[in-house]
Amino acid sequence: MSERSGFQLGVIGSLALSVASSVAIVICNKALISSLGFPFATTLTSWHLMVTFCTLHVAQRLHFFEPKYIDGRTVVLFGLLNGTSIGFLNLSLGFNSIGFYQMTKLAIIPFTVLLETLFLKKKFSRSIKFSLLVLLLGVGIASVTDLKLNLLGSILSILAIATTCVGQIMTNTIQKRLKVSSTQLLYQSSPYQAAILFVTGPFVDQLLTKRSVFAHSYSTVVLGFIILSCLIAVSVNFSTFLVIGTTSPVTYQVLGHLKTCLVLSFGYILLHDPFTARNIVGILIAIFGMALYSYFCVRETKKKSTNDVLPISQMADKESMPLLATKSLGLHQDKDGNETKKADGIPPATKNSLAL
């Protein structure tokens, strides 16, 4: 019981860390991009990942965690996939309207559910699906403004959805199958994510902004916000892997939409962004959907835990079988003993295997 309580506290802590760090980095980056005129988001993300790797390397050297070997092919593929998904998301934002970009992010949840159902044979109850539908409806009302379509933007959005979903499913699958922690996986994969964005970032940013990151004038204030953004990003990246590893990719996406609602709210309160009754209604519906999702998840987890616990009588029977087998093995000396063993209810096949 104490282990389960500790696990639940760990999940709550990882969720809280993810929300707090994500909202903080959005506010920091908004000030950096909008107020200070530094629009190079993809390059900035590569710096985030490099600082994350350096921080984890120092932590590993100080024995805060033990590195665990993951085969090179898995790590490289995983790192490149996650780095590519970030690039496609930024390109999708650059070549689409804000409304269509929000629709792209909304599509990640149903697409993740579809992939897990088809390839991982995971089952989602009607209650979970209904709560996700309510959540998506609320976020759509709160954040989606216009839906201007174009061919290139649509292709980029599809690629962003596919790579993001597969990357997040791999995050969860690798941690569980290889029994590695979120810290160990992030430490192994972050150099590859950083490398692909470090190489492609300046090109992507110049394509989107028509400006070069190398020609930008770096004032003391800009450098200060970049450093702050990188430090917050360490917490964001760590909590992302932690949440996906301890919960699921779908839960992480639900949490992401909670962040969207909080960012909209903070934008209105702190930055005085435009806020309408539609935003308020959408956020309330989304929060209701998140509450439903949390309730149904907890209920189904408790139900599964109850079903997994064997009755005491069955446990007693299971524990007594090896003892009986051992006792019979001791009497197994002659022909009479063999007949007695068979009469005790142990089949001949089991007897022969024990004798071997």
- In this predicted structure, the answer to whether residue 334 has a pLDDT above a threshold of 70 is no
End-to-end CA distance of the chain: 40
The single-letter DSSP state of residue 63 is: T
pLDDT at residue 341, rounded to an integer: 44
Phi and psi, residue 212, nearest 5°: -100, 135
- In this predicted structure, the answer to whether residue 222 has a pLDDT above a threshold of 80 is yes
**What is the per-residue burial (b if ≥16 Cβ within 10 Å, else e) of 87-102?**
bbbbbbbbbbbeebbb
pLDDT at residue 192, rounded to an integer: 92
- In this predicted structure, the answer to whether residue 318 has a pLDDT above a threshold of 60 is no
Phi and psi, residue 216, nearest 5°: -75, 145
- In this predicted structure, the answer to whether residue 347 has a pLDDT above a threshold of 90 is no
Share of the chain above pLDDT 90, in %: 32
- In this predicted structure, the answer to whether residue 1 has a pLDDT above a threshold of 80 is no
**pLDDT band with cut points at 50, 70 and 90 for residue 308:** low
Residue-wise pLDDT for 55-81, tens only, equals 999 999 988 888 888 888 999 999 999
Question: Which of 66-70, 202-206, 275-279, 325-329 shows the lowest mean pLDDT across its residues?
Answer: 325-329
Check: CB of residue 45 under 8 Å from CB of residue 202: no
Token pair 């009497």 is found at 331
Q: Which of 215-224, 280-289, 303-312 has the highest mean pLDDT?
A: 215-224
pLDDT at residue 6, rounded to an integer: 60
Average pLDDT of the chain, as a whole number: 80
Coil/strand/helix, residue 34 = helix
The rounded Cα 115 to chain-centroid distance in angstroms is: 15
The model's pTM is 0.72
pLDDT at residue 321, rounded to an integer: 41
Our CA dihedral for 256, 259, 264, 267, rounded to 10 degrees, sits at -130
- In this predicted structure, the answer to whether residue 356 has a pLDDT above a threshold of 50 is no
Of residues 212 and 322, which shows the higher confidence score? 212
Greatest Cα pair distance, the chain, in angstroms, is: 95
The single-letter DSSP state of residue 112 is: H
Rounded mean pLDDT, 79-96? 88
Residue-wise pLDDT for 158-180, tens only, equals 999 999 999 999 998 999 898 89
Alpha-helical regions (H) of 31-71? 41-61
3-state helix, strand, coil in the chain (%, to 5): 85, 0, 15
Rounded mean pLDDT, 79-97? 87
DSSP H or E stretch at residue 152: helix 151-177
Query: Is the dihedral angle over the CA atoms 161, 163, 167, 170 positive or is it negative?
Result: positive
- In this predicted structure, the answer to whether residue 314 has a pLDDT above a threshold of 90 is no
Which residues, including other chains, have CB under 8 Å from residue 222's CB and lie 6 or more apart?
A: 32, 36, 38
